[in-house]
Amino acid sequence: MKKQIVLFLFLLFIFPTVIFAQSLLNSKVPSIQVKTVDGSTYNTSSFSNHGKPIILDFWATWCKPCIAELDAINDEYSDWQKETGVKVIAVSVDDARTMGKVQSFVKEKEWDYDIYIDPNQDFQHAMEVINVPCTFIIDGTGKITYIHNSYMEGDAKVLHAALLKAAGKK
Amino acid sequence: MKSKILLASKELKIYKVWKILFPFSFLLFPFCAGAQILSGEGQLHGSIEIDAQYYKPDSLIGAPAVPEKMLMNTYDELDYTNGKISAGVRYEAYDDALQGYSTLYNGSGFPYKYISYKQDNMEVTVGNFYEQFGSGMILRAYWQPQLGIDNSFNGVRVKYNPTKGVYLKGLVGDQRYYWTEGAGLVRGIDAEVNLNELDSSLANMKTKIILGGSFVSNYQASTSTTYNFPEDVGASAGRISITNGGFSLYSEGAYIINDPNAINNDIFKTGDGVLVRAGYSQKGLSFLLSGERIDNMSFKSDRAATANDLNINYLPSLPRDETYQLAQIYPYATQPNGEQGLDGEIKYKLPKESLFGGKYGTDLDVEYTVINSLDTINLNDQATNDKGYTTRLFNAGQTNYFQNLTLEIQHKFSPDFRMIAQYDHEYYDMTVIQQEPGSPNITSNIGVLDGYYSLSSAHTLHMELQGLQTAQAQGNWAFALAEYNFGPDWFIGALDEYNYGNPDPAQRIHYYTVTGGYMKNALHITIGYGKQRAGILCIGGVCREVPASDGFTLSITNSF
């Protein structure tokens, strides 16, 4: 009996999610406090690129596909910036143990991105990110227009196409 | 009498139904109440994660018969935000818990539910929450479903910024223990001061300084007639972070008063720990040197708790997180009773267009970690103070627990082809790390080749070859993997982990797996079939045992 009640309530729980839940697509970035690489506090509601699109990428120093994705973007970054004015914001979900590696990691990689750290995973949680890498495109009006979880070779091309669309170039 | 019992059981049922319904009130709350604090359009988001496995017994690899045949874990979350209010619940079901997870998880319910109110410089959360002070040495509550860890607090947390650059946090709560709560009541405060933000004259200074301090106490009543357990165990920690351009220094020290518990064999010794990390980085180059010392630092909200249960704190370990399969066979687990270690890492990018840099540059990474026991002197004082031992502060202990040297090279040959090569030389004290007395100390060499090739924009191939050589334990291993991605939303893959060097010829087994999956937006579906070797899974120095298994797996994750 208890199992049936739980199942029933679970379905009740799923119901509003189907009816009322807005997709992350078209929603805006929530207001959460993250850290800069020098340890200062920063609010995610201040993410802005003056009307141009943003690529928001959740990554970690221990995540090989994340690094591959950020490397692949880096190879094209100057071209993409010329085309669309895009800015990449890379939010590391490294925890207490590895967050100290983030700054040196980024410098060695020569990534010219805005880097933030989410050590308590508050921002990751608010963005419903289950696994990294998870990539969002935010258009010039602040709306999320693209979500992709995971990275495989070739995904940077898909991301580029979505970026052109968000910038109104396609 | 009979009617009383009937009434009691009816009340129990009402209570049980109420207990299940209670979390929904959290969801309804923002819809119904406080119209003034809800501004604009509310947002409802959530995520779903389902992991299921069908098990077949396999006596050769040691996979037990699972009577239920199929087991499933699921974690489903809903979060609602509107203006200053946010609220959410997570439903979890273990029907029954997957092999390797504690059977205490069996069942279902809403272990995580919260309401949070945020205004200007203050935030109040009631219900369940995760938190971390500094690097977590005296307090860190987090959720890591892969390890079966959820030590969230159930209580109240307040965050307050009284002035620019000053960040205060205070919390009171019990910790989650599977479907109940731990015996202890945890109270904690943390203060962080960013000097450059606090004093406007320092705002533009190149040197950035952040100071922090915290205090945590756990209250647990004692009924022991044998021991005079301290009922209030206090812990304190201080930290400093200094950065100047490419230079960075972080240090944290922590102290716990005497806390006899199941991990330290009920000794009355105080605990302490220190972590120091210094680095320098510039474009294309970085150095990082870390040192840590942990002495009797297990801190749980129940002195009888064991394993990963009811940890109040988290001890950051030094070894790198290995990502390749064979480099994960002998993973390090942090020793809360005592360890000291050093870790050094140099990363360098050979410039583009240089001799070995090629068109895209080449990344080199060298890392060395060594972890030893503490240098201890046994006090043999069980009958008197029962402090157990004392340590010589600056001496390395006699026992080497772990050593690892890693060399990694990453090179992109063309827009369509890149490779990673990695070599590891590892020493591993299995007796200490896996707590299996009589195990051999393992010295191994591990080599990895990892390649990615794009056939076209939507078709890519990923291949890995790995080898592990050792004369101890299960001997040599070989590993091969091929993954093909097409569409670009679909993928298929196959891997084989082969223990060809096992001293027992009957155990020279192929652990093969085939997988296929679909990924679109935030949706991720993977199905697999194959054999999993028995081993331990570690994330950040925290581990759980993974039993051998044979069968089908299904994994679904999605966010909306």
B342-372 pLDDT tens trace: 999 999 999 988 888 888 889 999 999 999 9
Q: Which of A112, A61, A107, A124 is CA-nearest to residue A87?
A: A112
Q: Are B236 and B254 in contact (CB under 8 A)?
A: yes
**Domain B120-316 is found in CATH 2.40.160:** yes
Q: Tens digit of pLDDT per residue, chain B (560 long)?
A: 444 444 445 454 544 544 444 555 544 544 444 444 555 578 899 999 999 999 999 999 999 999 999 999 999 999 999 989 999 999 999 999 999 999 999 999 999 999 999 998 999 999 999 999 999 999 999 999 999 999 999 999 999 999 999 999 999 999 999 999 999 999 999 999 999 999 989 988 999 999 999 999 999 999 888 888 999 999 999 999 999 989 999 999 999 999 999 999 999 999 999 999 999 999 999 999 999 999 999 999 999 999 999 999 999 889 998 999 999 999 999 999 999 999 999 999 999 888 888 888 899 999 999 999 999 999 998 888 899 999 988 788 889 999 999 999 999 999 889 999 999 999 999 999 988 888 999 999 999 999 999 888 789 999 999 999 999 999 999 999 999 998 778 999 999 999 999 999 999 999 999 999 998 888 899 999 999 999 888 877 788 888 999 999 999 999 98
Phi then psi for residue A46, to 5 deg, are: -85, 0
* A101:B345 CB<8 A: yes
Q: Are B424 and B442 in contact (CB under 8 A)?
A: no
- Using an 8 Å CB-CB cutoff, list chain B residues near A24: 45, 522, 559-560
B87: contact with A, CB 8 A cutoff: no
Q: Are A126 and A32 in contact (CB under 8 A)?
A: yes
**Domain map (residue ranges) of chain B:** 120-316, 317-508
What are the angstrom distances between the C-alpha of B210 and each of A33, B235, B241? 16, 21, 5
- Using an 8 Å CB-CB cutoff, list chain B residues near A100: 248, 250, 277, 279, 288, 290
Q: Are B406 and B376 in contact (CB under 8 A)?
A: no
Query: From the CB of residue A133, how many other CB atoms can be counted at a distance below 10 Å?
Result: 24
Q: Which of B366, B458, B356 is CA-nearest to residue B412?
A: B356
Determine the distance from the C-alpha atom of residue B87 to the mean position of all C-alpha atoms in its chain, rounded to a whole number. Answer: 25
For residue B27, the chain A residue with the least C-alpha distance is A13
In this prediction, residue A13 carries a pLDDT of 57
In this prediction, residue A11 carries a pLDDT of 56
Interface confidence, given as ipTM, is 0.88
Strand segments (E) across A60-100: 87-92
Indicate the angle between helix axes A64-84 and A155-166, nearest 10 degrees. 40
Q: What is the pTM of this model?
A: 0.90
Sign, CA dihedral B91-B96-B102-B105, equals positive
* A128:B288 CB<8 A: no
Q: Which DSSP letter does residue B343 get?
A: E
Provide the b/e sequence for B348-384 (b: ≥16 CB within 10 Å). ebbeeeeeebbebbbbbbebebbbbbbbbeeeeeeee
* A105:B131 CB<8 A: no
B386: contact with A, CB 8 A cutoff: no
Is residue A50's pLDDT more than 70? yes
Please name the residues between 462 and 491 in chain B that touch chain A, using a CB distance below 8 Å.
462, 485, 488, 491
In this prediction, residue B70 carries a pLDDT of 95
In this prediction, residue A20 carries a pLDDT of 52
Show the tokens assigned to B203.
């705002």
**Domain A25-166 is found in CATH 3.30.420.40:** no
What are the angstrom distances between the C-alpha of B499 and each of A45, B468, B529, B546? 52, 9, 19, 17
* A104:B348 CB<8 A: no
Q: Tell me whether the omega of the peptide bond preceding residue A133 falls within 30 degrees of 0, making it cis.
A: yes
Task: Give the model confidence (pLDDT) of A122-133 as tens digits.
Answer: 999 999 999 899
Please name the residues between 64 and 103 in chain A that touch chain B, using a CB distance below 8 Å.
64, 68, 71, 75, 95-98, 100-101, 103
Is residue A112's pLDDT more than 80? yes
Q: Which DSSP letter does residue A85 get?
A: -
